[in-house]
Amino acid sequence: QLNSLLRCSARRGNADVASALIEAGADVNDRDEEGQSAMSLAVKSGNIGVVQVLIESGYSMEHSVDLFLHDAAAMNRLDILEILCLGYSDIDMNSTDSRGQTALHLAAHRGHLDVVRFLVSEGSDPDVVDGKGWAPLHYATRKPTSKPSNSCWSIQFPLNML
């Protein structure tokens, strides 16, 4: 019951409740039937306070399952990316999803220039190709999906960082 409540508080962004539930015995690493953890729900919901509480409470990242960088990059959440990189020194900046895409692919495709710069500065490889054979730069040259008015020409993919 405590674990279910922790996931609920993570989804809703209540860091104080999450902290109290952890103190009461909720397992920060528990996953539901679908494999969702409190951390994955907090990241997907953009709840930075809960993300911080979970990191401080010892959430153990499973690199083959947890694609938090992807979620944060797709949502243009530089703040969450920064906390994840600070909290997990061994985070895999080039982890891939089921399509072979890295967080950098997603950020470039959506035109999130600050996120692209951050990911590259933290070690994301701009030469990794996905299942289509596309590198992040290929996606950066397409019209971003999240902001139709923002074309690749106005974001100017940071070639000087590659």
- Percent of the chain's residues with pLDDT above 70: 88
pLDDT at res. 62: 86
Which pTM was predicted?
Answer: 0.84
Estimate to the nearest angstrom the gap between the alpha carbon of 66 and the chain centroid. Answer: 9
Using one digit for the tens of pLDDT, what is the confidence trace for 14-57? 999 999 999 999 999 999 999 999 999 999 999 999 999 999 99
3-class DSSP string for 29-79? CCECCCCCEHHHHHHHHCCHHHHHHHHHCCCCCCCCCCCHHHHHHHCCCHH
Distances 129 to 44, 64, 66, 98, 107 between C-alpha atoms, Å: 25, 18, 20, 13, 14
Query: Which of the 8 DSSP states describes residue 91?
Result: -
Distances 4 to 21, 28, 52, 55 between C-alpha atoms, Å: 10, 10, 19, 18
Query: Which of the 8 DSSP states describes residue 159?
Result: G
The answer, yes or no, to whether residue 162 has pLDDT greater than 70, is no
Mean pLDDT (the chain, rounded): 89
pLDDT band for position 144 (50/70/90)? low
> Which residue type occupies 151?
S
Least confident residue range of 96-105, 106-115, 148-157: 148-157
